[in-house]
């Protein structure tokens, strides 16, 4: 697998990325995580998203150096929370790294992806609570060190439960 990242943080994030039809890197900025997904053909469709035009431009510049490999990469300038209304296909997995816990909760609530890989910067206990309330379970939850700083990197999956609350109460 091509993962020549010098950052333990980015390598840890990348190690959780599954193979999926559509993956979105929200707040992609430099585009290194997106480029990893692209290079390793992890997704048929890759959404590279950022709210800042300058940041998205950095990701585009990095992609200009990559060889085409059949992955369809789409660059979308928007708030990550608005992606659902901007693309017509379902997103299987999202990556949100480097944003605050409340912003992450806002985006997850809007998109409700089956899988999310998260690297929050603040309000982490609040984010964990919101994820549980939104029916996500923790598949991985790691505390890592990178260049003298500590990070909580998590991979969560939405529970698929066929019993609705109403059915549970009736039985």
Ligand X SMILES: C[S@@+](CC[C@H](N)C(=O)[O-])C[C@H]1O[C@@H](n2cnc3c(N)ncnc32)[C@H](O)[C@@H]1O
Footprint of ligand X (CB under 6 A): 26-29, 49-52, 55, 79-80, 97-99, 103, 119
| Between 27 and 113, CB nearer to ligand X | 27
| Between 121 and 163, CB nearer to ligand X | 121
Quote the least distance from Cβ 48 to ligand X, whole Å.
10
Quote the least distance from Cβ 98 to ligand X, whole Å.
3
| Between 53 and 160, CB nearer to ligand X | 53
Quote the least distance from Cβ 52 to ligand X, whole Å.
4
Quote the least distance from Cβ 168 to ligand X, whole Å.
35
| Between 92 and 103, CB nearer to ligand X | 103
Beta 115-119 vs 149-158: how paired, if at all? Answer: antiparallel
| Half-sphere CA count of 143, side-chain side, radius 13 A | 2
Quote the least distance from Cβ 59 to ligand X, whole Å.
9
How far is 169 from 171, CA to CA, in rounded Å? 6
| Between 2 and 137, CB nearer to ligand X | 2
């Amino acid at each position: 697998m091509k993962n020549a990242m010098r950052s333990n943080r980015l390598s840890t994030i990348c190690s959780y990325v599954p193979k999926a039809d559509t993956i979105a890197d929200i707040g992609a900025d430099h585009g290194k995580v997106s480029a990893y997904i692209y290079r390793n053909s992890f997704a048929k469709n890759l959404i590279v998203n950022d709210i800042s035009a300058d940041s998205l431009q950095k990701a585009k510049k990095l992609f200009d150096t990559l060889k085409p490999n059949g992955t369809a990469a789409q660059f979308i300038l928007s708030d990550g929370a608005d992606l659902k209304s901007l693309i017509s296909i379902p997103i299987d997995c999202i990556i949100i790294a480097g944003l605050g816990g409340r912003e992450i909760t806002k985006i997850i609530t809007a998109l409700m992806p089956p899988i999310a890989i998260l690297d929050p910067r603040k309000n982490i206990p609040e984010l964990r609570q919101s994820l549980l309330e939104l029916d996500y379970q923790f598949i991985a939850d790691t505390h890592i060190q990178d260049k003298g700083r500590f990070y909580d990197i998590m991979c969560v999956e939405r529970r698929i439960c066929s019993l609705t609350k109403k059915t549970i109460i009736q039985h």
